[in-house]
């Protein structure tokens, strides 16, 4: 059983989920996920910060009791109401009957709706409020839309510990280590980008707002609700979030295509070879029928270039390309060096449909629309060569 004292009187009591195959029913969890929960013990009062998912409630309670079986718990601070962090609270209230829930006005509304908990039973805090635990002061920062309207963060001033909710979280269960200096966290970094792009990506502006507010705080530990506790890598993790929320990407290209019979795929293979000859050194190719969108989005948030290719399908796009483009629009992805290609047999609409779908995004679109009729020809190869040249130049421009 993992419990850990992160720093004196701040404990980890979260749980690992290695059996849920898709987070939110959508995003694959090849390495599982952790639901992080913490205990902060002051001289006079004790608080639990964040809860766990419903089926993990008894494990969390056992861990809290494992710290000190006679411990009286006074508060449950809910930084985020999403059920992966609150599913277990009814059991928690049963185990610790004196527990008072701490949240903001928006938390209160959701507690009533999800769990029938009345406002009178909640301590409602406002931005900047504090609760004194005796030698440990909890200070609350409202951080709306990171990632729901009620989200907030809790900071322990004396210990310089930030309980950040979903922010700075990542997929991947904790395999024995809790704090980043206890284990190799290298596989958690791509999982952080995947988590950000899948879950938080739409909320780049609220992330920037939160980062500017937190900028003045000295932070020794970031305790998020998923993944490792950050200590040695606090600065690195803040800078990853800063870059992701500003959509500042690495030099490289993601090519996303759909193909039924291989003709569109042929164009993509040709284009990728030409991009390589033009000096592009990082090219990720995803066949949208085989790569899970979760990983495609991760790569879109990693690299500056994006090329989308689709056959015409019933007067529209290949359905999975349509769905992928909608995901980009939903997240308001911008700042891409972008190109598109299409194929058809009797009336091609792919390239122009792609252009219409992304017109609200601030892409720098490179080259003419390419619409290949039937099989690949020397003319298409020439078009791909020209596009690759222009695309590589645009990528290297700044």
Q: What does the alpha-carbon distance between residue 94 and residue 159 come to, in Å, rounded to a whole number?
A: 30
Confirm or reject binding of residue 341 to ligand FMN (CB under 6 A). Answer: no
User: 3-class DSSP state for residue 273?
Assistant: helix
Confirm or reject binding of residue 166 to Fe ion (CB under 5 A). Answer: yes
269-288: contacts with ligand FMN (CB under 6 A): none
User: 3-class DSSP state for residue 159?
Assistant: coil
Is residue 4 a contact partner of residue 178, using CB atoms and an 8 Å limit?
yes
Identity of the residue, 41 or 320, whose beta carbon is nearer to ligand FMN in the bound complex = 320
Choose one: 152-160, 170-178, 210-218, 255-263; the region binding ligand FMN (CB under 6 A): 255-263
Identity of the residue, 19 or 314, whose beta carbon is nearer to ligand FMN in the bound complex = 314
174-213: contacts with Fe ion (CB under 5 A): none
Confirm or reject binding of residue 347 to ligand FMN (CB under 6 A). Answer: yes
User: CA separation (Å) from 32 to 18, 186, 253?
Assistant: 4, 16, 28
Q: Which two tokens stand for residue 46?
A: 């004790």
Confirm or reject binding of residue 348 to ligand FMN (CB under 6 A). Answer: yes
Q: Which of 197, 225, 259, 270 binds ligand FMN (CB under 6 A)?
A: 259
Identity of the residue, 187 or 261, whose beta carbon is nearer to ligand FMN in the bound complex = 261
Site string for ligand FMN, 302-331 (x = CB under 6 A): ---------xxxxx----------------
Residue 281: how many CA atoms within 13 Å on its side-chain side?
A: 3
User: CA separation (Å) from 300 to 155, 297, 311, 336, 363?
Assistant: 33, 5, 21, 9, 13
Q: Which of 41, 147, 298, 320 binds Fe ion (CB under 5 A)?
A: 147
Q: Which of 346, 378, 397, 398 binds ligand FMN (CB under 6 A)?
A: 346
Q: Which of 9, 84, 150, 371 binds Fe ion (CB under 5 A)?
A: 84
User: What letter would DSSP give residue 93?
Assistant: H
Torsion-angle region of 69 (φ positive above 0: left; ψ -120 to 50: alpha; else: beta) = alpha
* 132, β-bridge pairs: 137
Which residue carries 């502006």 as its tokens?
205
Strands 38-41 and 10-12: antiparallel
CB of 320 to ligand FMN, least distance (A): 12
Q: Which residues contact 52 (CB under 8 A, 6 or more apart)?
A: 14, 15, 35, 37, 59, 60, 84, 85, 87, 88
Among the listed residues 298, 299, 351, 346, the one whose alpha carbon sits nearest the alpha carbon of residue 321:
351
Task: Look at residue 84 and give the partner it binds from ligand FMN, Fe ion, none, a contact being a CB closer than 5 to 8 Å depending on partner kind.
Answer: Fe ion
Site string for ligand FMN, 88-117 (x = CB under 6 A): ------------------------------
Residues binding ligand FMN: number (CB under 6 A): 19
Identity of the residue, 84 or 299, whose beta carbon is nearer to Fe ion in the bound complex = 84
Residues that bind ligand FMN (CB under 6 A): 259-265, 311-315, 343-348, 374
Residues that bind Fe ion (CB under 5 A): 82, 84, 147, 166, 225
């Amino acid at each position: 059983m993992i419990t850990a004292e992160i720093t004196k009187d701040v404990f980890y009591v979260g749980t690992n989920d290695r059996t849920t195959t898709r987070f939110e029913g959508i995003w694959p969890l090849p390495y599982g996920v952790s639901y992080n929960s913490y205990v902060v013990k002051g001289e006079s009062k004790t608080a639990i910060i964040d809860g766990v998912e419903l089926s993990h409630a008894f494990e969390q309670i056992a861990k809290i009791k494992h710290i000190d079986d006679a411990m009286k718990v006074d508060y449950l601070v809910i930084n985020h109401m999403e059920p992966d962090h609150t599913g277990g609270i009814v059991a928690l209230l049963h185990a610790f009957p004196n527990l008072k829930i701490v949240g903001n006005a928006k938390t209160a509304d959701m507690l009533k709706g999800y769990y029938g908990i009345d406002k009178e039973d909640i301590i409602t805090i406002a931005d900047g409020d504090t609760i004194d635990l005796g030698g440990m002061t909890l200070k609350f920062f409202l951080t709306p839309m990171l990632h729901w309207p009620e989200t907030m963060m809790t900071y322990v001033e004396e210990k310089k510990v930030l309980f950040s909710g979903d922010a700075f979280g990542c997929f991947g269960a904790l395999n024995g280590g809790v704090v980043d200096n206890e284990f190799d966290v290298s596989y958690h970094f791509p999982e952080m980008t995947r988590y950000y792009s899948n879950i938080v990506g739409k909320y780049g502006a609220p992330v920037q707002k939160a980062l500017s507010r937190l900028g003045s705080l000295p932070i020794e530990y970031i305790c998020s609700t998923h993944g490792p506790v950050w200590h040695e890598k606090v600065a690195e993790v803040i800078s990853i979030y800063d870059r992701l929320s500003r959509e500042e990407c690495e030099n490289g290209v993601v090519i996303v295509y759909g193909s039924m019979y291989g003709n569109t795929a042929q164009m993509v293979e040709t284009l990728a070879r030409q991009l390589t000859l033009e000096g592009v050194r990082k090219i990720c190719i995803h066949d949208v029928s085989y790569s899970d969108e979760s990983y495609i989005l991760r790569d879109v948030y990693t690299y500056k270039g994006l090329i989308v290719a689709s056959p015409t399908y019933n007067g529209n796009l290949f359905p999975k390309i349509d769905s992928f483009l909608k995901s980009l629009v939903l997240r308001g992805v911008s700042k891409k060096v972008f190109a598109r290609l299409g194929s058809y047999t009797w009336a091609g609409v792919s390239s122009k449909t792609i252009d219409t779908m992304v017109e609200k995004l601030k892409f720098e679109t490179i080259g003419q629309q390419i619409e290949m009729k039937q099989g690949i020809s020397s003319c298409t190869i020439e078009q791909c060569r020209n596009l690759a040249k222009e695309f590589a130049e645009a990528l290297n421009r700044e």
